[in-house]
Amino acid sequence: MVTAVVIPIILVYFYWLTKKEMKNKEEEWLKIGFVKEEAYLSGKVISAQNEITRFYYHRQILVQELTLQCDTKIIKAKKKHPLSTNTKVETIPEGASVKLYGQWDKQSFLYNRLENSNAQPTN
């Protein structure tokens, strides 16, 4: 008699707990691309790479990594996007002069916005 009541309660509890965790991970996944614009970095793009990493179960992240030649040193800059079916990948040509807005994270620069200085205005 007790198991007829306790087992469904346990199942409902774990179902609720799993749904709550999935909702939290979904919100965290959507926020992964937002970085505070505390600093800026400008330089010339040496190389650009795209990498897809797993975030949580079926959620993935697109990590764009730029290697920049700044005034005196070479710096790695990263941008993270939640990867979905409508995600557009920016292609940045090598040798382009760019200005990145974001914040420092240990040895790399996480950027939120990119301005291409080589872009030609259209009339």
We find that the CATH architecture of domain 39-116 is Beta Barrel (2.40)
Helix ranges, 1-123 (H): 2-31
Q: How confident is the model at residue 119 (pLDDT cuts 50, 70, 90)?
A: low
Predicted model pTM: 0.76
Note the pLDDT of residue 123: 38
> pLDDT, tens digit, for every residue of 105-118?
888 899 988 888 76
Q: What angle do CA 50, 94, 36 make, to 5 degrees?
A: 55
pLDDT given at position 35: 87
For the chain, the domains span: 39-116
- DSSP three-state, residue 34: coil
7-29: per-residue pLDDT in tens?
999 999 999 999 999 999 999 99
pLDDT tens digits along 58-101 = 889 999 999 998 888 898 999 998 988 888 887 888 888 889 99
Amino acid in the structure at residue 31 = K
